[in-house]
Structure 1
Amino acid sequence: MNRSPFCRGFLLILLVLACFALSPTARATCQEGCLSSNNTTLGEDALLDLTTGTDNTALGFNALLSDTTGTHNTAVGSSALYANQGSNNCAIGAAALGANTTNSGSNNTAVGMDALFLNSGSNNTAIGASAGDSIQAGNDNIFIGFTAGEMVQGGSHNIEIAHHGTPGDIATIRIGTKKNQKNTYIAGITGVTVAGGVGVIVDASGHLGTVTSSARFKDNVRPLVARDEQGKPYTVRYEAVNAMLLNEFLKEHRKAEEQQATITQLKRDFRGTVTQLTTRLDEQAAQIQKMSAQLEATKPAPQMVNNP
């Protein structure tokens, strides 16, 4: 979800108003210096609501403002980790991890304005302005690049590099886009031998895979040719050959049966056609004979002529 700066600002205003409503002594305080429990602040209302949290660093207006019990957090930038209640988070950039509100939202790293803005999950990493800014409850995601993964909403274990992602992404890797990237070069692949390797298939959308059919649902499928550590073939799994030959024989046998059934049907159809033609010829012959008899009956009788 690509939000406009106006929408993000409106959400921040709502968060500020909510904190003011809950705070009995809402005030603007320019915090500067070292607080108790190894906390460090620099900026107006930075770490304003802190109670028992320890080892936090807040630099910037409203940085870590709502944090009360979170520990080991670092916020650098206006409203970075603004609503945070988690621990072990690092946010660098305006509003980075700004709405990280739950205690479970921990071990996140966000670098860039609005990076991981709505995050409440854990173990997420986003580098780039608005990277992963719509992810909410997802965990263990990596977003790299401007607006990278901005469409991902709740999935986990995604890696989005220079790609917006999709709302339903789960355990998905996306690198680049067809619109912007036209060529791919990865060193260390060409000429390298891999023992027991399989072919890689790429579909029209750029989806990578190694199988094209239901083979992906089969377990323990091994190649027929066994290879050594250098990738060179050294033997064949002969126990699998008989099964393969039997399978091919059954295929040909079924094909022969289908062909025989087709020939039998053709013969049956041919006999039926011949019978129909014979019947029609007999009917036509009978009609001709009838018409000949009628013509014969209509001829005048011959007359005798007497000579005087």
Structure 2
Amino acid sequence: MPVKKTLIALAALAASGAALAQASVTVYGRMDLGMSSVDTTLGTAPATDAFSLAGEQDRWTGSRLGFRGTEDLGGGLRANFTYEIGINADRSTPAGVSPADNARTRLANLSLAGGFGTFVVGTFMNAFDTARALSPANNTIPGGQFTQWQATAGSERFDGRSQNSFAYVAPAINGFTFSMGGGSEEAGAALKFTGYTLNLNFNRGPLVAQFAFGDLDMDLPVVADMQNWALGVRYNFGPVVASFIYEDSQRDVAGVRTFSANSWEIGARFPMGALAPYITFGQGERNTDDIDGWQIGTTYNLSPRTWVYAAIGEAQRETAAGINVRKESGYAIGLVHTF
């Protein structure tokens, strides 16, 4: 009997090992540290300056630590997961930031993928992020992806990160990929969200294009409806990589239009080996106000996983009469390492 039990145990262990061999987990991360200075002017008030000599974080891309894994379920079916947290790289608890934000969840999702496409549920980056990211500029430095100035994510435009949501991504056909998603969230009787997105992507040769459309019904507790769409296009001409971004959003409360905004941005990147300077410029409208922005910068690759960056820019919002509402100008220099 002991021999038989031992053989059974060894067989079970071998089967378990075979199953584990089909699964893999990867630990990855990114650190972004540097220095920056941003002057902000609100109306006619004196400008305020936010300056960091060293240790400023996330000016180019968010510092993070993540885990991703996949398991082969057989028959061409795979199960995948991603869990990623944002990390505050320069100090444990900066002024005005709760300790919980030092390990905030950026991504947390599960997905099934196969010949039918991919079905994902949880918190994940969506097509709005893809469309906006086709700009070469940095969205945390003044003038970069200034289209975000047209609206505030959450109630006036879609955030680039879907939470408590699901999505289906169809298989690519001749460069085209279609996806759709939705989600619903309720926090008591005073806050309810229900929405959906429809997206179309084209990626073939030198051309990349992303269209994203979203509709969100909100109970704040007043019934409101928000619609947002974005189009991003990038074309690689060789010595120049040109881009165009357009975004439109609007919100109705109890059937009355309370918010409307649109903006466009053109950009160009000039790859020169490890060096890649770029320039962007754009304009738009937020209700009756005018907005515009520009940014000039560059990245320099020290290796496939490490690069330095430097950028300067400005963004401004004015009334139709030319009166300043908000103006930001500044620069950032930093180092990014991925692992």
TM-score, length basis structure 2: 0.20
Tell me which of the two structures has the higher relative contact order, counting C-alpha pairs closer than 8 angstroms and 6 or more residues apart. Answer: 2
Higher helix fraction: Structure 1 or Structure 2?
Answer: 1
Structure showing greater radius of gyration is 1
